[in-house]
Amino acid sequence: MHALQDRPYFFDEGVRFQCLRCGGCCTGEPGIVYADQDEILPMAEFLDISPELLKERYLNPFQDGFVVREAEDGRCVFFENGCVIYPVRPLQCRTFPFWFSNMRSLFSWKEVCTRCPGIGKGRLYTREEILLSIQASLPIFEVVWEGDSKP
């Protein structure tokens, strides 16, 4: 990753982004939202339920952690007119849209822009912040790389 810090990117001037909580990336086609063990307690505390009940109601075991269940219509079970666990949503969700898969090329980025109305709105994320987000989210995708992912 360090060698990649020095090269130019299409996002060198930063990117504006603010999640509008439209649910576009939390609903629709099936995908994987991964949550690791460390993310369970904050989610349970936020919902004021036990970690055991959180797992029983909302999660399925996956690799060393969990995946968030989906409703029959494909939406994440935490989506109810917005993400009901937004402040403690999994790292995978917190780092969207600045994932390696989205930032790897301008072509990929333009495709994401067509799906997320929050891109171009809100505060400016700097090149450094975007690179940190890509780096932070990479381990998640090493776990779920084989699957699809949302948001």
The 3 state secondary structure assigned to 88-150 is: HCCHHHHCCCCCHHHHCCHHHHHHHHHHCCCECCCEEECHHHHHHHHHHHHHHHHHHCCCCCC
Whether the bond between 151 and the residue before it is cis, its omega within 30 degrees of 0, is: yes
* Number of helices followed by number of strands (H, E) in the chain: 6, 5
Of 79, 98, 109, 125, which one interacts with ligand SF4 (CB under 6 A)? 79
96 binds ligand SF4 (CB under 6 A): yes
44 binds ligand SF4 (CB under 6 A): no
20 vs 142, which CB is nearer to ligand SF4? 20
Of 74, 117, 120, 147, which one interacts with ligand SF4 (CB under 6 A)? 117
67 binds ligand SF4 (CB under 6 A): no
Contact positions vs ligand SF4 (CB under 6 A):
19-26, 33, 68, 76, 78-79, 83, 85, 89-90, 93, 96, 116-118, 150-151
